[in-house]
Amino acid sequence: MKALVTGISGQLGRALLAAQPDGWTCVALDRQALDLADQDAIARVVDAEEPDLVLNAGAYTAVDRAQSEPDLAYAINAGAPGAFAKALAGSSARLVQVSTDYVFDGQKDGVCLPYHPDEQRNPQSIYGASKAAGEDAAGSDAIVVRTSWVYSAGGANFVRTMLRLMREREELRVVADQIGSPTWATGLAQALWGLAAIDQPGIYHHRDAGVASWYDFANAIADEALELGLLARIPAIIPIATTDYPTPAKRPSFSVLDVSKIRNLLGDEHIHWRTNLKTMLKEEKALG
């Protein structure tokens, strides 16, 4: 069986290659090998490789920059899944499209219940809107998986940014009124391969167990990193409101995803984000 894996220079792409199951051959595609904004190039790759599966882990993920680059964000986040769906049409191959919690607005009338996969979307940013368009473009034959706050050892993510800032500064200010769930890229990759094996199209949610604010997450990073010797000391971490840290793109204030559908289907263990954070930091330490 052959899978095309896009975005292999990113943290999820690398995790997908590392988690490759027996019996699969992966064609690993970075942006030099395949420009996801080029729909003709996508068609040529699919025609040449004739894959059984496409794991589209590549994406435009610069949330704030997307506000000033909407055409590029849409070309990659919506145009690419549409091109893959078109190229795979009429074959038995499956598209697995990765999406985001940012397709929701985070406003549930004051009721903080996790978002089900079939709940109404209302993205508040170009990034979120482009990913929602990508879900639609992928079509009903695709497996669409929304996730949140992804991180991994060696990647570009909140955990590694916090580690750097905690080494450099005596004080950090971190948003405390945006609530979601961190997601370890390795666990996400395993879930994507699991869904591919079951081959049941639909929309799914995956995240680690538990919820947190960015402030909670930062404090956990500091505590675990200190224990592992990745930090010599913990700086002051001060909670702030979203209004104290304005950004070009609006983030959902509450974007916890209901994962009961995917957990019931895969029958796997739902590991708490703090446990996965500790594992990731051990990997980070091993990288030197």
- Contacts of residues 21-24 at CB distance under 8 Å and 24 or more positions apart, as own/partner, are 21/193, 21/197, 24/53
Please name every residue paired with 54 in a beta bridge, in sequence order, or none if there are none.
4, 95
Given 60, 74, 102, 127, the catalytic residue: 127
Catalytic-residue membership of 115:
no
Say if CB 207 and CB 257 are below 8 A apart.
yes
What amino acid positions are annotated as catalytic residues?
127
